[in-house]
Amino acid sequence: MSQTHVMGKIDQSIGKLVLSNAKKYNALPQSAWLSIRPAIENLVAEGARAIVISGAGSHFCAGADISEFDTVRKNAATAHIYEASNVEAFAAVRECPVPTIARIQGYCLGGGFGLAAACDMRIAEHEASFAVPAAKLGLGYPVEAMADIVAALGAQNAKRLMFTAARFSAQEMRSMGFLMKLVSASDLDSHVDALTQTIGQLAPLTHTATKAAVRAINSGDWETAKAASDATFSSADYAEGRAAFREKRTPEFKGS
């Protein structure tokens, strides 16, 4: 895993995935895109109940490190390899079994926008800005990532984002439905922490089943969704939930 550009840690059962390349507004090289899946898998294996994705410093992520494109994305063959690393990173976020939250400040551009779109929820500060400048570079955006963007924005706004390559304000992104909440920079951490604390206290298997069910609406993978739902009924957490309800106390869920 690229310890330099992608760093993961657990803080009170909440996973923190930090994108770090401060000199380039957290634009990520190919090695960093490849490290996102193992980083997420490690956090889940360590017991994360939710994962917050954020950028180091004052920006979320400016997308791909374009300075290496002449090498890693110089023609169709290398572009396909590079795109696969992007797609794998987006899929890792989308398919993560626990809820994912994008904590957005500053730039959320290109592939950074794709990562945010793959998250379950997005909270941003008022001064954040958003764009996907693929049309300015003359390249196509991965189809899998476009599916996330359309799901988050709707088809018309997704086309507007891509066709214009324009920079959008946080307020515009909120009005399009991309952002769940818009807060001041000073309140960003407290809002994200409150959300993750609420999620972390509730039943992990239910969260997994919810994610699978929502994903099935677009993918048609009903069997996986049904299996995830069925698994809750024989779980210790379901027994604990019923017992806590009877005893009028707060349940203590273990994720099993």
pLDDT digits (tens, 9 = 90+) for 174-233: 999 999 999 999 999 999 999 999 999 999 999 999 999 999 988 888 999 999 999 999
Q: Please say if the pLDDT value at position 116 is more than 80.
A: yes
The shares of helix, strand and coil residues in the chain, as percent rounded to the nearest 5, are 55, 15, 30
Residue type, 245: F
pLDDT for 3 equals 52
Distance of CA 82 to the CA centre of its chain: 20
Which DSSP letter does residue 142 get? P
pLDDT tens, residue by residue, 232-242 = 999 999 999 99
Q: For the chain, give me the number of helices (H) and strands (E)?
A: 12, 9
The number of CA neighbours under 13 Å toward the Cβ of 95 is 15
pLDDT for 1 equals 41
CATH architecture, range 6-199: Alpha-Beta Complex (3.90)
Residue boundaries of the structural domains of the chain: 6-199, 203-247
Indicate the average pLDDT of the chain.
93
